[in-house]
Structure 1
Amino acid sequence: MAARRNFVSNWWARRWLEVLESFGWDSRLQRGRTYARRGNVLSIDLAPGAVTAKVQGSRPRPYTVKIKINPLADRDWERVIAALAGQAAFAARLLAGEMPEDIETAFAGASLSLFPDSPGDIETSCSCPDWANPCKHIAAVYYLLGEKFDSDPFLLFLLRGRDRETLLAALRERRMALAGGSVTVPAGEGERGVSPEPGYRDGALPSSEDRRQVQPKARGKSLNPELPTDPVTFWQAGADLAAFQVQITPPAIPRGVLKRLGPPPLGREAPEFYRLLEGYYEEISRQAYELAFANGGSETGESRG
């Protein structure tokens, strides 16, 4: 247990190894742990539902390891996205590049699982002569996968059939729909009585004429109220802004922009560069916070007008 926890740090990576051990592979996985620590896994490539790796064994030529995990069907992913979007905390953390600690409940609510449920969900092969499955080469790849998941949790979703960008795009669209924002109308919707707004058909932007025709509303009120006729009061805040307050607090998710973008594609220099950016973001946030209260502002965040 201690060796496994030292190999990875985040809960989702530990959970990955715990699931594999629950299949009765504990002793076999231990055989691959040493291979993984020694750097015998020469390469590892991930694709939706599939992993291909090269592992150096006792022979001069590296062995080829292939791992396939049953991806979720499109209709299943729609249910998962709906469950994730329905919880603001899930959506916020995922869009910030973080893995929610109780994300498995969202999958369970859709009668699905993020991690494999049984050995039958995983298909493996290795070009080595060892008959055991998993052999130590496959086991080493399992451990390296845990290490990769540790640094990028979205690779877990990739193995289940959805890459990072596709998942986040679907999540944003569903959140917009829940918030009452505009969404893309599928072809044929207009024939069933749902008409897209003028100028948005086939993904086109609205023309200036269309924009003049559309009168947006917000909670029954026009977004274009009449302007005051008195030029003296034009630039005054008015009753609606008299009690306006601004609350400035540190973000709930530190360095959210960096986490959302993920590690930069800089090879070996990526971790060092990423840590450098983290330092910059923390210093910029600190100075911005101090600047916000430099002119008499209060820690409660009330605007001084």
Structure 2
Amino acid sequence: MSYWYPSYEKTSPIAVKNGIKAKSKRGAIGDKWWSKRFISALERMGNAARLQRGRSYARKGQVISLLIQNGCVESKVQGSRRSPYSVSIRLRSFTESEWTRIFDTMASEALYSAQLLAGEVPAEIEEIVGKTGFSLFPDSHKDITTACSCPDWENPCKHIAAAYYLLAERFDNDPFLIFQLRGKTKDEVLAALRSRRKKVSDEHPTQASTGSPAGGSDPLSRSGEGEAAATGLGRTVGAKAGAAVTADRFWKNEGEPAEIAFSITDGLEAEFAALQLCGEAPFTIRGADPVDILLPVYPAARKRAYEMAIGSMLSEEDAYSEEECDDGNNMSGDHI
């Protein structure tokens, strides 16, 4: 018995004007652990040669559109034919009972819950979800369903692969996207965690106020670590030592405010964090990328914020030399 496989003439794709291009020009695509984890999962399951051609498509700008709605990725990718191909990518959504198990397990980890509620997705989250028996990222072909209107019988074809790589870069800007593709939006995830953490607070007020159960130690209570560290806020020495924080006392002034220490995170990743969160702009300004226009503004704004924090004006050189000093009086906070 013989099998017949269709063969296709090797052709070059039609160039796309203003196509979506991968930010990475060479090497691996994806900067953060979650985007790299997504790509590594796909590379384990996929055809390496096809994925490589898809990466080339992504860098050339052959992807016309990439939309994520209702947990499904819809994309248009220009190939060698006049009409672009339609690509769809969908991860298996967890059932409500599966989500309940996942949320319960996530909420049981105080430190990681604090990080998530602060908008951060810790690398340990995959291990935490794994305790429930599920994988946050796809680990088999059963976890992901794809389709492309091209005549290629291989899966993934280069058009699907191109969408994969651009989707991975979206993870860099929005780590909660993996939850959305699994069936829950960021708001739904955070609401589920808040309700569960509130339940712990209501049922165990001592544990909630001190951050540790009787006889135990909770990471949220150790030396200003925990939620303060996870949110990037420096610890403030509050009112009275040992006083429980309750809802009816939270907004009351109980004496002179404590001195707030601070630090400023350096490095380009921190300096341009807001732009990275915005992602790729869907428009240009007189042919220029808005990011390129805004880039020079950030160092100036960062310097001014530092001046406001220390209460004096600095030269440009002084502003950066001050950040390099480690005198123990540091504040970490939201990046400009």
Is the structural similarity TM-score above 0.5?
Answer: yes
Question: Partner residue of 1:207?
Answer: none
Aligned length: 243
CA distance in 2, matches of 1:39, 1:33: 10
Moved more, 261-270 or 97-106: 261-270
Q: 1:13 to 1:165 in 2, by over 3 A?
A: same
Question: Partner residue of 2:126?
Answer: 104
CA distance in 2, matches of 1:93, 1:282: 24
User: Of residues 131, 151, 158 in structure 1, which corresponds to 2:180?
Assistant: 158
Normalised TM-score (structure 2): 0.60
Q: What whole-Å deviation, never above 9, does each CA across 1:143-180 have from its counterpart, x for those lacking one?
A: 11111112211211111111122222222222222233
Larger fraction in helix: 1
User: Of residues 306, 318, 328 in structure 2, which corresponds to 1:286?
Assistant: 306
Question: Partner residue of 2:262?
Answer: 249
Deviation at 1:65, TM superposition (A): 0.7
Question: Partner residue of 1:19?
Answer: 41
Q: 1:267 to 1:94 in 2, by over 3 A?
A: farther
1:263 aligns with 2:240: no
CA distance in 1, matches of 2:297, 2:132: 38
CA distance in 2, matches of 1:281, 1:102: 33
Q: 2:72, 2:89 within 8 Å by CA — same for their partners in 1?
A: yes
Question: Partner residue of 2:142?
Answer: 120
1:205-244 to structure 2, matched below 5 A, reads none
Q: What whole-Å deviation, never above 9, does each CA across 1:35-87 have from its counterpart, x for those lacking one?
A: 11111110011124311110001000000011121011122222222222222
1:149 aligns with 2:162: no
Q: Which amino acid aligns with 1:250?
A: S
CA distance in 1, matches of 2:78, 2:101: 41
Question: Which has the higher relative contact order, 1 or 2, with Cα contacts under 8 A spaced 6 or more apart?
Answer: 1
CA distance in 2, matches of 1:3, 1:286: 34
Question: Partner residue of 2:194?
Answer: 172
Normalised TM-score (structure 1): 0.66
CA distance in 2, matches of 1:65, 1:11: 25
CA distance in 2, matches of 1:34, 1:100: 30
CA distance in 2, matches of 1:34, 1:53: 16
Deviation at 1:15, TM superposition (A): 0.8
Which stretches of structure 1, 4 residues or longer, exceed 6 Å deviation after superposition?
251-255, 298-301
1:54 aligns with 2:76: yes
Question: Partner residue of 1:32?
Answer: 54
CA distance in 1, matches of 2:297, 2:191: 25
Q: Which structure has the bigger radius of gyration?
A: 1
Q: 1:159 to 1:275 in 2, by over 3 A?
A: farther
Show structure 1 runs of 5+ residues with no match: 182-217, 225-236, 293-297
Show structure 2 runs of 5+ residues with no match: 1-23, 204-242, 284-288, 313-326, 331-336
- SS of 2:169's partner is helix
